[in-house]
A and B are shown apart, each in its own frame.
Chain A
Amino acid sequence: MGISLFFFVAWFFVFAVVEHAWVSVLPFPFSSFPLVFLCVIYWVQSVGVRQVAWWLVAQGILLDFWKVGWTSTETVWFSFSAVALVILSRRFFSNHSLYGLLGCGLFSLAILDGSRLISLLLWNGMESLDGRTWLAVIGWRVGWMVGGLFLAFLVSERLRRPLSRFFHLWH
């Protein structure tokens, strides 16, 4: 259990640091790649490790700490998204279909980005949202997520067990 716990924490930091120190500096649209979110969706929905949803809460805390999130209360919106993801995964979508994986991902992303945008609008007003820019960002986030999950699904059937063992995230 100790090794699983270590890797549960360590892999979160690996993905979070790669996303926020490297991916976010890349030119658009690469900078909008949601690496941690993709991993969470895949592990919760396809592999069935629901505790990985806590990575979203941890990511929200990091964004609030560094003050580089869309809003100043990222922890709240990421927590909503994590709860929604677990409920969707348990009750609505089967974990062995592509549609289940995409459905979980799309709904969770819609809840996350939708709540953040509404928060931005309410707290900062319309001037904080340049419509075309945000549409492009969210559009690319959806696109990266769908593409990434599709690719993960294609290889997951063969690689699910070796991946779980490699990342020491139990199945």
Chain B
Amino acid sequence: MRFPAWKNRLSFRKLLFPAFLLGAVFFVASLGLLKTVQRPLSAFGSSFRSLWFHSVAEDGSVLGNRTRMEERILHLLEKEASCQQLETEMQNVKQQLGFFDRRPLERIPASVLVQAPGPLNTFFIDRGSADGVEAGDPVVVAEGVLIGKVLKVANHHATVLSILDPSSRVAVAVLNRSHSLGLVQGMGGSVLALHFVPQEEPLAPEDLLVTSGLEPGMPSGLLVGIVNRVQADPSAPFQEGLIEPILDSKQYHFVSVLRSRPYD
């Protein structure tokens, strides 16, 4: 049975258009051909987000209160000074004991191309295995603020899981006298939860959390967050805490992937 010509043409069009579209999607996505457009758009969006939080956000919001953030920055600078002093003392001790530096770190700069929408916490960067990125590598911004870990790697791009995601776990140490160890887990929103800090360890609001270095591939000393509230239940074996991230990672378009170089 032969169909009229117009009916054949219509059926052909119905098949051709979606086939071409899906083929183009696979082709463009796998070769990363959209990067040149995604980078400036992502940068523009990050700038707008930064401007928004500095000028428009409500009072009392975690990331929007500029005065509170400036006070916190000053407090952090003071803590940084005491940390540097401690580091100098530690270097002296290491030299005396004959240790060597086991953590030379290589920074791989990357741009954020795509952010997951809404409350989701993954993003897509333009560096991959060809640039030396591996799954599990930490991703930082500024001078060493941890924002995520590499989740999946392809040749020229990678997906990063933010520390805010509920499936993210980071081994941390509290910057206090006893250097208490704990585990930070994302809560899916804009805060983190601190778990497994023993009851007898001192834990107080405004304490800084850094990575403990106990995880493979995760160097120690990367800033994670600040203790906002301590939930101490005397009957429980561990204390819990509510942690504020140091900064809003979505305001940053440029990030760095840290790689530990092998021993020479």
A residues apposed to B, CB below 8 Å? 1, 4-5, 8-9, 12-13, 17-28, 31-32, 51, 54-55, 57-58, 61-62, 65-70, 124, 127-130, 133-134, 137
- Are B118 and A58 in contact, with the CB atoms below 8 A? no
Please name all residues of chain A whose beta carbon is closer than 8 Å to the beta carbon of B120 when the two chains form the complex: 68-70
Residue B5 lies at the interface, judged by CB distance under 8 Å to chain A: no
Q: Given A1-B13, A8-B17, A17-B38, is A68 in contact with B22 using a C-beta cutoff of 8 Å?
A: no
Number of interface residues of B (CB under 8 A): 48
Please name all residues of chain B whose beta carbon is closer than 8 Å to the beta carbon of A70 when the two chains form the complex: 118, 120
Q: How far is the CA of A24 from the CA of B48 in the complex (A)?
A: 12
- Are B116 and A68 in contact, with the CB atoms below 8 A? yes
Please name all residues of chain A whose beta carbon is closer than 8 Å to the beta carbon of B34 when the two chains form the complex: 13, 17, 21
The residue that B18 contacts in the complex, of A28, A54, A68, A128, with Cβ under 8 A, is A54
Residue B239 lies at the interface, judged by CB distance under 8 Å to chain A: no
Q: Could you list 9 further interchain pairs (A-B, Cβ under 8 angstroms) beyond the known A5-B17, A25-B115, A28-B118? A: A1-B13, A17-B37, A21-B42, A24-B114, A24-B116, A25-B112, A66-B29, A128-B167, A128-B188
- Are A27 and B17 in contact, with the CB atoms below 8 A? no
Q: How far is the CA of A12 from the CA of B24 in the complex (A)?
A: 10
Please name all residues of chain A whose beta carbon is closer than 8 Å to the beta carbon of B49 when the two chains form the complex: 25-27
- Are A54 and B118 in contact, with the CB atoms below 8 A? no
* Nearest chain A CB to B142 CB, angstrom units: 18
The residue that B166 contacts in the complex, of A28, A57, A128, with Cβ under 8 A, is A128
Residue B213 lies at the interface, judged by CB distance under 8 Å to chain A: no
> Contact string, B29-46, partner A, CB cutoff 8 A, digits 1/0?
110001001100110111
Please name all residues of chain B whose beta carbon is closer than 8 Å to the beta carbon of A66 when the two chains form the complex: 29, 113-114, 124, 159
Please name all residues of chain B whose beta carbon is closer than 8 Å to the beta carbon of A69 when the two chains form the complex: 116, 120
- Are A137 and B46 in contact, with the CB atoms below 8 A? no
- Are A57 and B22 in contact, with the CB atoms below 8 A? yes
> Contact string, B13-31, partner A, CB cutoff 8 A, digits 1/0?
1101110111011101110
- Are B25 and A22 in contact, with the CB atoms below 8 A? no
Please name all residues of chain B whose beta carbon is closer than 8 Å to the beta carbon of A51 when the two chains form the complex: 14, 17-18
- Are B16 and A21 in contact, with the CB atoms below 8 A? no
> Contact string, B197-210, partner A, CB cutoff 8 A, digits 1/0?
00000000000000
* Nearest chain A CB to B107 CB, angstrom units: 23
The residue that B167 contacts in the complex, of A18, A27, A124, with Cβ under 8 A, is A124
Q: How far is the CA of A12 from the CA of B119 in the complex (A)?
A: 24
Residue B144 lies at the interface, judged by CB distance under 8 Å to chain A: no
Q: How far is the CA of A27 from the CA of B113 in the complex (A)?
A: 16
Q: How far is the CA of A62 from the CA of B57 in the complex (A)?
A: 32
Please name all residues of chain B whose beta carbon is closer than 8 Å to the beta carbon of A67 when the two chains form the complex: 122, 124, 151-152, 159
- Are B115 and A20 in contact, with the CB atoms below 8 A? yes
Please name all residues of chain B whose beta carbon is closer than 8 Å to the beta carbon of A57 when the two chains form the complex: 18, 22
- Are B20 and A5 in contact, with the CB atoms below 8 A? yes
Please name all residues of chain A whose beta carbon is closer than 8 Å to the beta carbon of B114 when the two chains form the complex: 20-21, 24, 66, 68
- Are A25 and B21 in contact, with the CB atoms below 8 A? no
Q: Given A21-B113, A68-B159, A130-B189, is A54 in contact with B166 using a C-beta cutoff of 8 Å?
A: no
The residue that A68 contacts in the complex, of B20, B48, B115, with Cβ under 8 A, is B115
Residue B216 lies at the interface, judged by CB distance under 8 Å to chain A: no
Nearest first, the 5 A-B pairs at minimum CB distance are A25-B45, A68-B116, A21-B41, A67-B159, A137-B118
- Are A134 and B119 in contact, with the CB atoms below 8 A? yes
Please name all residues of chain A whose beta carbon is closer than 8 Å to the beta carbon of B152 when the two chains form the complex: 67
